[in-house]
Amino acid sequence: MRPRQIVAALATSAVAVTVLTGAAPADLRPVASPGVQACAEAPDQARVRQGAQVAEPALYAKKDARKYGVIKDLPTLAPGSVEVETVFHVVTETTPTPAQRARTTSMIDAQMQVLNDAYAGTTSPDAAATPFRFTLDHVTWTVDATWAHVSPGKPERDMKAALHEGDSETLNVYAADIGDNLLGWAYFPKGYNNGRDYIDGVVLLDESMPGGTVNAYNEGDTLTHEVGHWLMLEHTFAGGCSASGDGVADTPREAVPQFGCPEGADTCPTPGLDPIHNFMDYSVDACMDMFTPGQADRMSDAWQDFRAGGNG
């Protein structure tokens, strides 16, 4: 178990994120960036940090929402029963020096430990153990000035078409110096069809890994968060205070994303405080430490419905 960060409140005046600048709760939904809209292909989910100057990419286009359907309710897989082969693709603008390469390799090793601790439920007494454990198969190294600062759209598609490995059971992680204060983004299972299965995977800000330089977001929980999306978890604030919320019964409703670690925040009239310690909120890394049993069950169902057996 790791220590939690607790603060009394977050000064909203310092937040420049689009979804937090005077919008009414009904407007606090992810919206597509212009580049994503132009391509008609949006990352399903993203994580942004405090001070982001752009909105996160969209969940998916409204016209495509129905194709995802309802996840079948299946028996929950046993904790630790699914081993996910993981491939890291490190993309840099220039060839890394031996020291830089050694540092990145060490960060990836630490990142894999953080990821496994989170999905094993060892990060908090309240955390649920999930079926998933992640094994690093190998790391690729690519030098490309455009891909090193990849954004959603054509650069992302070109990069992934060249680098993606495996099938829908393989977790591809693309670590690069992405911009606009985005920490990462990912795709829901089955959200990368139409002959573009290679688009699957997680794009990750490289310095968000443990030991990175992104203050408050450098303990490795961006990958934890994005893999949750890869396994079909919504943000805890998805749906706001509506009855459906994020589609998981045991996560309290939340009207807006929470930044920092505002202990006691309660933005919906339904029971429960805002789930600021949940990996699927926008809290800082030191605040995040749990998935719920309902989230573990949803990820288990999504794996069996959409990923197991190399489905794509």
Bridge partner list, 143: 92
Q: Is 156 an active-site residue? A: no
* Alpha-carbon distances, residue 82 vs 67, 85, 131, 144, 165 (angstroms): 26, 10, 6, 34, 19
CB 177 within 8 A of CB 184: no
What CA–CA distance (Å, rounded) separates 292 from 210? 23
Q: List the Cα angle 33/193/203 in 5-degree steps.
A: 45
From the list 82, 103, 89, the residue with the least C-alpha distance to 207 is 103
Q: List the Cα angle 187/192/198 in 5-degree steps.
A: 95
From the list 169, 178, 176, 237, the residue with the least C-alpha distance to 200 is 169
Joined tokens for residue 79: 């904790």
* Alpha-carbon distances, residue 85 vs 88, 107, 135, 169 (angstroms): 10, 18, 5, 7
Number of H helices, E strands in the chain: 5, 6
Q: List the Cα angle 236/240/242 in 5-degree steps.
A: 115
Sign of CA dihedral 5, 10, 15, 20: positive
Q: How many residues does the chain have?
A: 312
C-alpha 167: how far from chain center: 19
CB 308 within 8 A of CB 169: yes
Catalytic residue among 41, 226, 234, 254: 226
Please name the residues in contact with 147: beta carbons below 8 A apart, sequence gap of 6 or more. Answer: 91, 155, 158, 159, 176
- The set of catalytic residues is 226
